[in-house]
A = this chain, B = another copy of it.
């Protein structure tokens, strides 16, 4: 039916790594686990505040940094917007961003991946990372 929910267990992941599970972190992690994918920091903060009004934006950022450093989430900076975070660990994919709604759709093309490798290699480079984003609008939608 809908988009598959993110079914990670960040809490145990961090606990196992010896990182303290505080009330703020518990709240933030639950939001990441249960919410839609690709929220930005303010969105996470807003939702966290509803559950626990004492959570601060700093802590949201700090928690994102911990998760990012541990490779548990990825940070994306789409054009003209703040960083958005997504659970990492699945297969690599690229993004298609609906410019009208901000909605993000993930896609993957092995052909494109292969072509990228080929291009980099032919220029004497190896790829460290890459980013492919398609900014799109629904076919047939009226211009704003």
Enumerate chain A interface residues (CB-CB to B < 8 A): 77, 79, 96, 98-99, 105, 107, 109, 111-112, 115-116, 119-121, 123-139
Minimum CB distance partner of A126 in chain B: B139
Residues of B within 8 A of A79 (CB): 77, 129, 131
Which residues from B are CB-within-8-Å of A138? 124-125
Contacts of A133 in B (CB 8 A): 130-132
Is A136 a contact of B120 with CB atoms below 8 Å?
A: yes
A131-B131, A133-B131 known; A125 and B98 CB under 8 Å? yes
Shortest C-beta distance, A39 to chain B (Å), equals: 20
**Structural contact, B134 and A130, CB atoms closer than 8 A:** yes
Q: A109-B115, A112-B112, A116-B112 are in contact. Are A126 and B136 (CB under 8 A)?
A: yes
- For residue A125, which residues in chain B have a CB less than 8 angstroms away from its CB? 96, 98, 134, 136-139
B116 touches A115 (CB 8 A): no
Q: How far is the CA of A134 from the CA of B98 in the complex (A)?
A: 22
B136–A127 touching, CB < 8 Å: yes
